[in-house]
């Protein structure tokens, strides 16, 4: 491994020697498009551009690593300041949610086909008005895309094109969500909450498919030479569900993903993005087999130090810088907050400086640079 930034990330995740604390603010395409001066329409239409803007912003701001997300190619038209996705006959199939996750809000729920492996490769990028899963039989019918599908969608060739442009970065590959966030896409947030109580069998049936998809994605990226993998469960937190429900529904499926991927490749390193409150499940997250816990969202009502005290020094932590601070405070305040996070979480060097959730699109570049500067100037070597 001759990539210094990748070495730094891997060492922090595994407890190896580090020259300094690495930094990986959680940027997405909206903030990245602003930083790079890229039209968001180009991001939505071109999967390579969606990968490129994050990598280019990461290099421009001198990150150690960036997350990468395979986007679908979409054909877009603009009318009355709105963007619409159209099909091959130029028929509008939905409006793009520009204020949310850039998903296509489908006009016809039938266009969300859970039997289609391509649709399930991009399940979070489309939103039907009616939940596409209503029974265990529907859950059985959820397609699980595999490496053949991902190659047909040019996931690796697109990614390699971007990595060749910015070879100094460490790239984090995406397994997406296996659990609550996957379930919410297919059932809607209100149904999902009630189902935990009224339809637990359906919850497990759907999450089993979510885990199967995440495992296929993880194996694909491991086979392509990636080592650091991201799981997401933004809605699987104690700000939304109880610790009891988390242990009943989320824990077993995250553990299945971690066990399978670690068995498949002993060098796999997996972190899970769970924003919101995780304090009372911190030890459970360790038991799932995760290599790193993030993003340590202070808006969840806890500190980095509280998590470190719960989990000890044998697992990596990532995150902790308040996203509202990034949006509203001055660079010198951000640097001080970042240093505080390093001091709270950087025990034994197993810490990656990052934001407590995704960086707000209107965050100033100077505040992100202050985070990077904090990591560069806080020189921590294991054992010093």
Rounded Cα distance between 208 and 218, Å, is 15
pLDDT higher than threshold 80 for residue 384: no
Residue 16 to residue 316: CA distance in whole angstroms: 11
Q: Which two tokens stand for residue 255?
A: 């553990």
Query: Mind listing the pLDDT tens digit for each residue in 314-342?
Result: 999 999 999 999 999 999 999 999 999 99
Note the Cα 182 to chain centre separation in Å.
Answer: 12
Whether the predicted pLDDT of 75 surpasses 60 = yes
Exposed (0-12), middle (13-18) or buried (19+): which is 332, by Cβ within 10 Å? exposed
Partners of 176 in beta bridges: 231
Q: For the residues 336-353, what does the mean pLDDT come to?
A: 93
Tokens of 159: 């990614």
Omega cis (within 30) before 130: no
Question: CA 274, CA 231: separation in Å to the nearest integer?
Answer: 9
Mean per-residue pLDDT, 46-59: 99
Instruction: Return d(Cα 138, Cα 271) in angstroms, integer.
Output: 30
| pLDDT single digits (tens) 253-297 | 999 999 999 999 999 999 999 999 999 999 999 999 999 999 999
pTM over 0.85: yes
Provide CATH code, domain 4-72+118-123+130-377. Answer: 3.20.20.210
Better-predicted residue by pLDDT, 2 or 62: 62
**Phi and psi at residue 269, to the nearest 5°:** -125, 120
Model confidence over 107-142: pLDDT tens digits?
999 999 999 999 999 999 999 999 999 999 999 999
Does residue 1 register a pLDDT over 70?
no
pLDDT digits (tens, 9 = 90+) for 187-217: 999 999 999 999 999 999 999 999 999 999 9
Neighbours of 288 (CB within 10 A): 21
Q: What percentage of the chain reaches a pLDDT higher than 90? A: 96
Q: Would you list the domain boundaries of the chain?
A: 4-72+118-123+130-377
Cα-only R_g, the chain: 20
């Amino acid at each position: 491994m001759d990539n210094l930034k990748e070495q730094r990330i891997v060492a922090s995740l595994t407890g190896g020697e580090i020259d300094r604390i690495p930094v990986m603010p959680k940027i997405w395409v909206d903030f990245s498009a602003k930083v790079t001066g890229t039209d968001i329409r180009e991001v939505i239409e071109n999967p390579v551009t969606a990968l490129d803007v994050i990598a280019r912003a990461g290099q421009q701001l001198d990150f150690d690593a960036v997350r990468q997300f395979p986007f679908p190619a979409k054909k877009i038209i603009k009318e009355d300041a709105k963007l619409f996705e159209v099909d091959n006959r130029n028929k509008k199939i939905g409006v793009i949610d520009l204020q949310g996750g850039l998903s296509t809000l489908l006009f016809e729920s039938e266009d969300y086909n859970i039997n289609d492996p391509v649709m399930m490769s991009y399940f979070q990028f489309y939103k039907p008005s009616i939940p596409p899963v209503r029974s265990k039989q529907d859950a059985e019918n959820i397609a699980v895309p595999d490496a053949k599908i991902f190659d047909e969608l040019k996931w690796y060739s697109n990614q390699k094109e971007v990595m060749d442009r910015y070879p100094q970065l460490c790239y984090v590959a995406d397994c997406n969500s296996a659990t609550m966030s996957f379930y919410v896409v297919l059932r809607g947030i209100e149904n999902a909450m009630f189902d935990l109580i009224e339809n637990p069998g359906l919850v497990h049936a759907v999450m089993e498919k979510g885990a199967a998809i995440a495992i296929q994605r993880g194996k694909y990226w491991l086979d392509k030479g990636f080592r650091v993998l991201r799981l997401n469960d933004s809605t699987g937190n104690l700000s939304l569900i109880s610790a009891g429900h988390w242990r009943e529904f989320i824990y077993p499926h995250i553990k299945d993903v971690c066990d399978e991927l670690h068995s498949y490749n002993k060098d796999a390193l997996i972190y899970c993005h769970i924003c919101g409150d995780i304090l009372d499940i911190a030890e459970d997250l360790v038991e799932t087999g995760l290599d790193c816990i993030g993003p340590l969202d202070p808006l969840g009502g806890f500190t980095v130090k509280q998590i470190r005290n719960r989990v000890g020094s044998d697992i990596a932590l990532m995150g902790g810088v308040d996203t509202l601070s990034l949006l509203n405070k001055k660079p010198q305040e951000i640097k001080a907050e970042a240093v505080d996070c390093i001091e709270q979480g950087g025990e034994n060097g197993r810490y990656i400086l990052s934001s407590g959730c995704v960086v707000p699109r209107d965050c100033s570049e100077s505040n992100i640079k202050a985070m990077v500067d904090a990591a560069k100037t806080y020189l921590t070597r294991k054992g010093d």
